[in-house]
Amino acid sequence: MLVPFGILLVLVVYLIFTRSKFEKEVVDVYEKKFEEWKEFNTTTTKKTEAAKNLVGLVYKTGYKVDIELLNDSAKIQLEKGKFKISSIKVE
């Protein structure tokens, strides 16, 4: 009766060690693949801001403000009132 339990115990210990070895090898393979992927990854996570484009000029004549557009790309935003006002102090 002691021999079958001994064999069973040895078998369980053997399976535990082989499974942990297999899991370690799999993790090593995936880590290696991940490092290779990071080297050859072409996508970038850099965020770039859109460049400012000159689309028009603003003039003040008396109490009236005139906007002269150089091209019509900003006309819709101006008509809808979707614009931001910022000032540059020049003295």
Cα–Cα dist 68/56, whole Å: 5
pTM greater than the 0.85 cutoff = no
Residue 51 class from Cβ within 10 Å (0-12 exposed, 13-18 middle, 19+ buried)?
Answer: exposed
Query: Length of the chain in residues, anyone?
Result: 91
The structural domains of the chain, with segments of one domain joined by +, span 1-46, 49-85
Tokens 């993790």 belong to 27
Four-residue CA torsion sign, 29, 30, 35, 41: positive
* Secondary structure element (H or E) that encloses residue 13, with its range: helix 2-40
Q: pLDDT digit of tens for each residue in the chain (91 aa)? A: 888 899 999 999 999 999 999 999 999 999 999 999 888 887 766 777 888 888 888 888 888 888 888 888 888 888 888 777 777 777 6
